[in-house]
Amino acid sequence: MINIAILGLGTVGGGVAEVVEKNQNEIKKSLGDNLHVKYILDIRDIPGVVKDINVIVNDPDVKVICETMGGKEPAYTYTHLALEHGISVCTSNKELVDAHGVELSEIARAHNCSYLFEASVGGGIPILRSLRESCGHEKISYIAGILNGTCNYILTNMKAGKDFNTALKEAQEKGFAERNPAADVEGHDTARKIAILASLVSGKKFSYEQVNCEGITKITQDDFVEAERNKMSIKLLGVYDAENNSVNVAPYLIPENHILYGVNDVFNGIFVKGNQIDNLMFYGRGAGKLPTASAVVSDVIECAKNIGRNVNNNFVDLPLAEVNKIPENNSGFKFRVLN
């Protein structure tokens, strides 16, 4: 039996516990052993939950920790401590991966454990492992992704005739958008995700601050009318272009014959171009309790199969990338056209 711990009993943390319980038979087939949630840490007063990270990291039975707290602190401190104790950490925390992923990955390597973050991009879509392993031999030249389900839901409803505020309110009522939706609608969430993808495939560290970023708050119904007239749709994309050495987030006009055109509602779609394999498309639920938790558990299984060894996550020894910035005087162009 492999004992694990969960840090943060929120939506994703609760989902991890649920996936482990419900899919125990499937987990055993994949891992060859059972997973057992020995500890759950949370700052709230919940029966059976611990509040002291030292209880977990000083227990030699704990082999893997799932960090599902979100934010930089205390997630960074707890992750750092766990890795120094030789305990692998799996996370859905894109903010932490973007800010400290290289550092934490190098600590994991030094202590013969692993730092994996499949769930930080694309929710339940197995994009990072696919790029790291199945496409590890490829030269990835281009990635264009619908990486934020909230924005995609809003834009899908605007295409159907609703204005931005109405679509946003509906997304909030259904739990697809936060009370303060700025990180989503201003493009910051997508920026962190495309920075992680660009770093993974390029061998250079792209940071959130380097991403040219524009959100969807200025899009109007007139824009959709014009897009429809030209047989296009509007999607918020995160784009990495190796040839131009650029990463950006912006609304794009998507031709109806492009595979991303039909990615609607809260779903994500990630279009990847390799020099030998040509075009690939990854599609699925980019957020949500169980899809994201499933991605975390997939990392737990990989770590459990490699106890005492480091799984190379392609996030070590990365020099900081130098990116081409879009000039300020070009910021008036709201849309770009996807080739």
Q: Which CATH number do you get for residue 189?
A: 3.30.360.10
Per-residue pLDDT, averaged over 122-138, amounts to 94
Note the pLDDT of residue 144: 97
Burial class (CB in 10 A: 0-12, 13-18, 19+), 174: exposed
Q: Is residue 99 domain-shared with residue 133, that is, in the same domain?
A: no
> CA-to-CA distance for 79 and 87, rounded, in angstroms?
9
> CA-to-CA distance for 157 and 163, rounded, in angstroms?
8
Is residue 89 a part of any domain in this protein? yes
Q: Is residue 90 domain-shared with residue 155, that is, in the same domain?
A: no
Q: What distances in angstroms separate CA 7 from CA 76, 174, 192, one per listed residue? A: 12, 26, 22
> CA-to-CA distance for 163 and 288, rounded, in angstroms?
25
Q: Is residue 168 domain-shared with residue 195, that is, in the same domain?
A: yes
| Strand-strand pairing, 212-213 and 246-255 | parallel
Could you report the per-residue pLDDT of 289-306, keeping only the tens digit for each? 999 999 999 999 999 999
Q: Is residue 45 domain-shared with residue 136, that is, in the same domain?
A: no
pLDDT value at 331 more than 70? no
Q: Is residue 26 domain-shared with residue 96, that is, in the same domain?
A: yes
CATH of the domain at 23: 3.40.50.720
Query: Coil, helix or strand for 5?
Result: strand
Note the pLDDT of residue 174: 85
Domain count, the chain: 2
Could you report the per-residue pLDDT of 132-166, keeping only the tens digit for each? 999 999 999 999 999 999 999 999 999 999 999 99
Is residue 279 a part of any domain in this protein? yes
Q: Is residue 76 domain-shared with residue 182, that is, in the same domain?
A: no
Whole domain around residue 35: which residue ranges? 2-125+288-305
Note the pLDDT of residue 328: 47
Whole-structure pTM value: 0.93
Could you report the per-residue pLDDT of 41-77, keeping only the tens digit for each? 998 988 999 999 999 999 999 999 999 999 999 999 9
Percent of the chain at pLDDT exceeding 90: 88
Tokens representing residue 118 in the block: 């499949």
Note the pLDDT of residue 195: 96
For the annotated catalytic residues, the residue numbers are 193
Alpha helices for the chain (secondary structure H): 11-22, 24-31, 53-57, 75-84, 94-110, 127-129, 149-159, 164-173, 182-185, 188-202, 221-229, 289-305
> CA-to-CA distance for 60 and 63, rounded, in angstroms?
7
Q: Is residue 137 domain-shared with residue 247, that is, in the same domain?
A: yes
Q: Is residue 211 domain-shared with residue 266, that is, in the same domain?
A: yes
Burial class (CB in 10 A: 0-12, 13-18, 19+), 299: buried
Note the pLDDT of residue 339: 60
Note the pLDDT of residue 335: 54
Q: Is residue 216 domain-shared with residue 80, that is, in the same domain?
A: no
The four Cα atoms 155, 287, 117, 202 give a dihedral, to 10 degrees, of -20
Note the pLDDT of residue 333: 40
Q: Is residue 215 domain-shared with residue 326, that is, in the same domain?
A: yes
Could you report the per-residue pLDDT of 233-285, keeping only the tens digit for each? 999 999 999 998 899 999 999 999 999 999 999 999 999 999 999 999 999 99
Q: Is residue 120 domain-shared with residue 174, that is, in the same domain?
A: no
> CA-to-CA distance for 1 and 55, rounded, in angstroms?
19
> CA-to-CA distance for 74 and 15, rounded, in angstroms?
20
Q: Is residue 18 domain-shared with residue 33, that is, in the same domain?
A: yes
> CA-to-CA distance for 187 and 147, rounded, in angstroms?
10
Note the pLDDT of residue 336: 62
